[in-house]
Structures are given as C-alpha cells and as structure tokens.
Amino acid sequence: MEWRALSDIPIAVSPRRLHVITWGCQMNVYDSARMADVLAPLGYVPTAEPGDADMVILNTCHIRDRASEKVFSALGRLRLLKLAREEAGGRMILAVAGCVAQAEGEQIIARAPYVDIVLGPQTYHRLPEMVARASRAAGAVIDTEFPAEDKFDHLPESVAPQGLTAFLTIQEGCDKFCSFCVVPYTRGAEQSRPQAAVLAEARTLVARGAREITLLGQNVNAWHGAGADGEPSSVAALLRALAEIPDLWRLRYTTSHPLDMAGDLIAAHADLPELMPFLHLPVQSGSDRMLAAMNRRHTAADYLGLVERLRRARPDLALSSDFIIGYPGETRADFAATMALVREARFAQAFSFNYSARPGTPAATAPDQVDEAEKDARLQELQALLRAQQAAFNLGCVGLTVPVLFTGPGRHPGQVAGRSPWLHPVHATGPSRLIGTETPVTIAAAHPNSLSATLPNQERATA
C-alpha cells in the first residue's frame, strides 16, 4: 500500500490520479462527485486525461439502449489505455459504476474481463475497500448490493471546489414502476433522507460558495423524509426550511412525478421567491390509453389541470417535460393526443425519446412494438413542435429585465455567463466582478438554447 494511516485518516504519500466519466441524469453527476470525495482521502486527485489516470470510473446510465452501448464502446477504448499503462510498468484500476453496473454486473465482467471493479449506485461509500481488494488480488470485485446501511451516513465531507450552483440528492430510488423504466430495478426502493441531513449538507454547500441548489431525486417531489419533528414531512416543507438559509438565493428540484405534485408544493411556487419558476414535470404521453399502459396513474386532463394550477400559482412558471414516442401499441391517434397536449401545455423546453425496450421491464415483452421508422417519423414531428415552442418561449424573454446568477466567464473575452430563472444559459458583456452575483439584466436576444443580455449602465464598467 502506498498510504499509511495517521490516527484514523489515511494520508496519501503520493497523489494518484482519478478520471471519472459520467453519463445519465443529474443524480449520476452528484454521485460522481461523491465518489471523488470518497477517494480523496486515499490520495486520488482528479485528472482530465484518462491516459494519465491510476483509476478510471465510468458512471453509467441504463435508461435507454444507446446509453448502455456507449459504456461498452468506452470500455474498449479504455482497455487500450490500460494496456499501455501496464506496459509502461504502471497500473490503471478500471471501475464501472452506476445503473448499467447495477443491472448487468456479471455481464460486464464476462464481456470486459479487464474491468477491476463493478459497483452499484448504493455502494460507492465502500469504494476504498474495493480499491484495496482490487489492488491486492487478481479478478474483479463486484459490489451491487442494496446494503442495509445508508451510504449518505458514510460519505466524507467534500473538499472539492464548489461552484455557485450545486446538486443535492434528497431522495433515491423509485416505487412507481412505470412499465418502460429500469430505475426501480437499478436504484432500488424509494428512500428519503431526513430534513436535518439535507439542511446540514445545504449549509455546507452554501458555506463553500453555492448560491443555487437543485434538490435531486428520481421522484423528488415524493420526498417524505423525517421533518424537524421527526415525522414524515413534504418537499414543500423542506423547501421552506431551505429558503431560510442565509445566502442561499435560489432553489430548484428535479425530477417530479405528476402524481406527487401536492397542493402545498404548488403553494410553495406562489409563496417562495427563492423557488425558481421552472419545473421539469415529465408527462411521457398525451394519450390516456398510453398513460394507463405505462402505469403512470394519471390522465392527460390531470396533467393539464396541474399545469393550470401551477401557472395560477406562479404565472411566469416555465415548464419542461419528457416524452416517450412509440411505446408498444401507440397508434397515430395516440400520438396525435400527445401533440394536442403539447400544444395546450406549451413547454419552454423538453426531452423526447423513442421508446427503447429495456430488459426486465414489463413493456419490453409487449407484443405490439412500434416499427422503428414510424417511431422516428413521430419523434421528428414532436421535436419540431417542441423546438418551435422553445423558440417562442425564448423570444418572449427578449426585452424582459430578469435576475441572472453569474457563474463564470463567458465564451468570449470580456463576457460573463450565468443562468436565467428559467435555467437558460445567459451571456452578457460585462466585468468579471459580476461572477458570484445575482444581477438584473435586460434580455437582448434569444437563441435556440440560450439568451444574450445587456447589463444596466452602472454594471457595465470593467472592474
């Protein structure tokens, strides 16, 4: 071993380099940062170059076919880097983490026997132990349990630099079992962290510089962790408690399920200025027949009713959604119902995908799979409408004066970049002293995925 223990804390003798590749949702982004935290006491420091790394972690996503195929092509490339390193007398530990690891642990080792560690999303607090085992012995270490202990209780405090925006996982897993989805199998049963743990982590993030926190969960609005009194609470109450933290200016949460969009949460959108007016609320389809087959447990009218209540609570609320096209049995009429819902709801942004059969999910074996070419045609039609809605929303921002949280330099010299309340990237010509401030700007131009802004006179001078 290259490190020795001083009291209980292992101190690195020589730094080792860690390269993490992340696919999938924001929860994977959060998990990748936590894996780096867990490995920091062993002396691992991040490197941008996989070829230089003593350890490479692939944090994977299983949600659609293409997502998992990417993992195997990346593994093929990394194998060559690993071999080159071994030839030079070094070592590269190759670890596969995340949802593909959870779903296909044994197959990964069979298909890529040069992988050293396979770990699921619930076991990364045990990484130091796995690294020690992988360093000692030949053969892969696999840990894809759903352990009884809570990984959040076993994570060290982060020492990595913290930007102005941060993610905070408050809820994991999912009990909804939508018939197309792997998440309940890869992430396990729904679990909510207690409010006290969430507040403590939020305070630490703010002390380290975060001014905007996005609460994460596969079903974030189903959060029901222990509140201040120890009783199960609600995400609305949690948001109210978070809004009290000084210097925490902005709050967001994602991803929400329409079924859990409770009245107190809608009210929080009206009452809490810290809660940003942007909500990702996936609907998947506008056809009640498809929604029932998908086990979503709500109708198109339920969804549109929610949208109306949310907009009444917060008139400037921008909506985002996910859509699945070509779910087994989807007819042209079902697809037309999705288009009609989109026209009525008006989305500021959206993600849409062709249905991808996932092994082990009920829909994968449904008899009436839709032809791929037909899926593509419908997807293109939907995406054209969604793009037009996004363009209209962005154009509607032109002329408005809105607060932007400036988070860093812009792409061009003399520019600063930040985020609008609606999550757009915003660029403006202005001094770097604006970075770290929330400054009102006037939106001057709209682009497909971003906005340009001009600063008020007193902010224009260079620092």
Instruction: Give residues in contact with ligand SAH (CB under 6 A).
Output: 63-64, 180-181, 183, 218-219, 255, 257, 282, 284, 322, 324, 353, 355-356, 358
Binding mask 35-74 for ligand F3S (x = CB under 6 A): --------------------------xxx-----------
Are β-strands 9-11 and 4-6 bridged in parallel, bridged antiparallel, or unpaired?
A: antiparallel
Distance of closest approach, residue 281 Cβ to ligand SF4, in angstroms: 11
Provide the token pair at 176.
Answer: 């909804």
Range in contact with ligand F3S (rule: CB under 6 A) among 45-53, 69-77, 179-187, 407-415: 179-187
Question: Is position 28 an interface residue for ligand SF4 (rule: CB under 6 A)?
Answer: no
Chain residues 200-239 in contact with ligand F3S, contact rule CB under 6 A: 218
End-to-end CA distance of the chain: 50
Q: Select from 57, 100, 103, 178 the one that contacts ligand SF4 (CB under 6 A).
A: 178
Distance of closest approach, residue 257 Cβ to ligand SF4, in angstroms: 5
Distance of closest approach, residue 232 Cβ to ligand F3S, in angstroms: 23
Question: Is position 218 an interface residue for ligand SF4 (rule: CB under 6 A)?
Answer: yes
Question: Is position 298 an interface residue for ligand SF4 (rule: CB under 6 A)?
Answer: no
Rounded to whole angstroms, the Cα distance separating 345 from 323 reads 13
Burial of 388 (0-12, 13-18, 19+ CB in 10 A): exposed
Q: Count residues binding ligand F3S (CB under 6 A).
A: 14
Long-range residue pairs from 342-346, CB within 8 A, at least 24 positions apart, any chain: 342/286, 342/382, 342/385, 342/386, 342/389, 343/385, 344/304, 345/283, 345/303, 345/304, 345/307, 345/319, 345/321, 346/319, 346/389, 346/392, 346/393
Residue nearer to ligand SAH on the CB measure, 296 or 314: 296
Q: Select from 117, 182, 281, 290 the one that contacts ligand F3S (CB under 6 A).
A: 182
Q: Using an 8 Å Cβ cutoff, are 424 and 397 in contact?
A: yes
Contacts with 252 (C-beta within 8 Å, 6 or more apart), sequence order: 212, 213, 214, 215, 275, 276, 278, 423
- From ligand SF4, ligand F3S, ligand SAH, none, which one binds at residue 28 (CB under 5 to 8 Å depending on kind)? ligand F3S
Contacts with 12 (C-beta within 8 Å, 6 or more apart), sequence order: 2, 3, 41, 42, 43, 44
Distance of closest approach, residue 27 Cβ to ligand F3S, in angstroms: 5
Q: Using an 8 Å Cβ cutoff, are 198 and 168 in contact?
A: yes
Question: Is position 183 an interface residue for ligand SF4 (rule: CB under 6 A)?
Answer: yes
Q: How many residues does the chain have?
A: 463
Contacts with 98 (C-beta within 8 Å, 6 or more apart), sequence order: 23, 24, 28, 31, 58, 59, 60, 61, 62, 120, 121
- From ligand SAH, ligand SF4, ligand F3S, none, which one binds at residue 24 (CB under 5 to 8 Å depending on kind)? ligand F3S
Residue 144 amino acid letter: T
Q: Select from 144, 165, 186, 214 the one that contacts ligand F3S (CB under 6 A).
A: 186
Chain residues 20-39 in contact with ligand F3S, contact rule CB under 6 A: 24-25, 27-28
Residue nearer to ligand SF4 on the CB measure, 75 or 178: 178
- From ligand SF4, ligand F3S, ligand SAH, none, which one binds at residue 177 (CB under 5 to 8 Å depending on kind)? ligand SF4
Chain residues 323-362 in contact with ligand SF4, contact rule CB under 6 A: none
Rounded to whole angstroms, the Cα distance separating 37 from 157 reads 7
Question: Is position 170 an interface residue for ligand SF4 (rule: CB under 6 A)?
Answer: no
Question: Is position 173 an interface residue for ligand F3S (rule: CB under 6 A)?
Answer: no
Distance of closest approach, residue 323 Cβ to ligand SAH, in angstroms: 6
DSSP classification of residue 145:
-
Question: Is position 184 an interface residue for ligand SF4 (rule: CB under 6 A)?
Answer: yes
Residue nearer to ligand F3S on the CB measure, 63 or 134: 63
Q: List the alpha helices (DSSP H) in 114-154.
A: 127-136
Rounded to whole angstroms, the Cα distance separating 103 from 57 reads 17
Residue nearer to ligand F3S on the CB measure, 43 or 217: 217
Provide the token pair at 387.
Answer: 């793009």
E strand segments, 170-327: 171-172, 191-192, 212-216, 250-254, 278-280, 318-325
Question: Is position 120 an interface residue for ligand SF4 (rule: CB under 6 A)?
Answer: no
Residue nearer to ligand F3S on the CB measure, 218 or 390: 218
Long-range residue pairs from 263-266, CB within 8 A, at least 24 positions apart, any chain: 264/234, 264/236, 264/237, 265/221, 265/234, 265/235, 265/236, 265/239, 266/306, 266/309, 266/310, 266/313
Question: Is position 286 an interface residue for ligand SF4 (rule: CB under 6 A)?
Answer: no
Question: Is position 174 an interface residue for ligand SF4 (rule: CB under 6 A)?
Answer: yes
- From ligand SF4, ligand SAH, ligand F3S, none, which one binds at residue 81 (CB under 5 to 8 Å depending on kind)? none
Q: How many CB atoms lie within 10 A of CB 113?
A: 10
Q: Which residues bind ligand F3S (CB under 6 A)?
A: 24-25, 27-28, 61-63, 98-99, 182-183, 186-187, 218
Q: Which residues bind ligand SF4 (CB under 6 A)?
A: 174, 176-178, 181, 183-184, 218-219, 257
